[in-house]
């Protein structure tokens, strides 16, 4: 009973942030919430509007947030190499699809094969991060700093710094629209991922073990859990999430830009986890709150874009939000709030007695 109330409380944090953003936008311009159904150039139905954009791009972030939540909970640190690994996964997909020719008339391999290869490659990179963290006991953020630096270089190197272009229209379904369905495909991909992780958490002990390792690694070992493996596994799962996002990202453009693709996405993914009310130092987590947090972040980004903030200056505003967020959730400030709350409660009780 107590546990349930905790979980309910945690999801209130992103909900409150979402409510604040909605109210802000209602005051600034109610047109923000308009959704129109039109047809695109190919004659397919398409929904458009700021809310659809949020759903569309927020889905990428939500998929990343799933993996990031597990990594955060298990290792007490964050993976900052996700943006660079997305570049690698995207590069691998294009390499498999295009072969040695950068502008092939037809696909050199089925898309599913390319995707599976990308999954394998990013799982290997995830395993590399995981091994450094779990076996060599290097702080997660520093271990992933290695790929953060080298990742985009490796991505460019895979394709020899050329920019392959896929002309096959079916490839663009993943990041765009499937003909006849007006809702962007990433939303469906996100739903699949969420259902899969929900089932995994429901029917396996992964969630329990991850939390146990995050709360106290050595006592979880004494209870028969292998903390090293759990930490390692969380990074591999994040690697798989990265491959999915990589597919969506390259599918949107049908090509890749190594230095720009998924730039700064690690910041948003970490932010989504933090906004979901999950402790960044590991331990208990709430997956639903993280996913909701991802959409709130995207809501914030879209709101800022609508307020004519340039994309280069965007990080400055987001950084302020992050700082506010972490300050509010810091132990010192939280304790202060609890004390204040107790005082108010005590005061009201006294009044009641009197």
Please give the residue ranges that form the binding site for other proteins (CB under 8 A): 77-78, 80, 132, 136-139, 141-143, 145-150, 152-154, 156-157, 161, 264, 267, 270, 274, 280-281, 310, 312-320, 322-323, 326-327, 330-333
User: Closest distance between other proteins and the C-beta of residue 19, in Å?
Assistant: 23
Kindly tell me which of 25 and 159 has the beta carbon lying closer to other proteins: 159
Kindly tell me which of 48 and 228 has the beta carbon lying closer to other proteins: 228
User: Closest distance between other proteins and the C-beta of residue 8, in Å?
Assistant: 25
User: Closest distance between other proteins and the C-beta of residue 332, in Å?
Assistant: 5
User: Closest distance between other proteins and the C-beta of residue 151, in Å?
Assistant: 8
Question: What is the spatial distance between Cα 144 and Cα 139, in angstroms, rounded to a whole number?
Answer: 9
User: Closest distance between other proteins and the C-beta of residue 266, in Å?
Assistant: 9
Question: What is the spatial distance between Cα 300 and Cα 291, in angstroms, rounded to a whole number?
Answer: 15
User: Closest distance between other proteins and the C-beta of residue 142, in Å?
Assistant: 5
User: Closest distance between other proteins and the C-beta of residue 330, in Å?
Assistant: 4
Kindly tell me which of 44 and 329 has the beta carbon lying closer to other proteins: 329
Kindly tell me which of 105 and 312 has the beta carbon lying closer to other proteins: 312
Kindly tell me which of 139 and 170 has the beta carbon lying closer to other proteins: 139
Kindly tell me which of 147 and 189 has the beta carbon lying closer to other proteins: 147
Kindly tell me which of 176 and 293 has the beta carbon lying closer to other proteins: 293
Listed residue (29, 21, 23) closest to 49, CA to CA: 29
């Amino acid at each position: 009973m107590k546990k349930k109330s905790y979980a309910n409380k945690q999801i209130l944090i992103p909900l409150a942030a979402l409510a604040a953003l909605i109210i802000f936008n209602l005051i600034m311009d109610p047109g923000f919430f308009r959704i129109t159904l039109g047809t695109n150039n190919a004659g397919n139905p398409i929904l458009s509007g700021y809310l659809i954009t949020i759903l569309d791009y927020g889905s990428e972030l939500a998929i990343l947030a799933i993996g990031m939540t597990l990594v955060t909970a298990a290792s007490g640190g964050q993976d900052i190499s996700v943006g660079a690994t997305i570049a690698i996964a995207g590069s691998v997909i294009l390499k498999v699809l295009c072969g040695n020719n950068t502008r092939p008339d037809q696909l050199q391999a089925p898309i599913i094969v390319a995707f599976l290869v990308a999954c394998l490659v990013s799982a290997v990179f995830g395993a590399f991060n995981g091994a450094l963290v779990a076996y060599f006991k290097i702080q997660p953020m520093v271990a992933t700093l290695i790929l953060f630096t080298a990742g985009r270089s490796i991505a460019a190197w895979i394709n020899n710094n050329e920019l392959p272009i896929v002309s096959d229209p079916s490839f663009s379904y993943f990041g765009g629209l499937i003909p006849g369905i007006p809702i962007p495909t990433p939303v469906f991909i996100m739903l699949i991922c969420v259902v899969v992780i929900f089932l995994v958490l429901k029917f396996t002990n992964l969630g329990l073990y991850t939390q146990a390792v995050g709360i106290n690694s050595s006592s979880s070992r004494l209870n028969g859990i292998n903390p090293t493996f759990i930490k390692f596994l969380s990074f591999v799962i994040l690697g798989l999430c990265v491959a999915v996002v990589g597919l969506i990202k390259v599918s949107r453009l049908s090509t890749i830009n190594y230095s720009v693709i998924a730039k700064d996405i690690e910041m948003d993914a970490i932010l989504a986890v933090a906004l979901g009310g999950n402790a960044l130092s590991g331990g208990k987590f709430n997956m639903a709150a993280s996913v909701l947090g991802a959409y709130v972040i995207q809501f914030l980004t879209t709101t800022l874009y609508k307020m004519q903030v340039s994309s280069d200056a965007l990080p400055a505003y987001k950084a302020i939000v992050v700082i506010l967020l972490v300050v509010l959730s810091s132990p010192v400030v939280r304790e202060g709030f609890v004390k204040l709350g107790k005082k108010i409660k005590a005061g009201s009780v006294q009044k009641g007695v009197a």
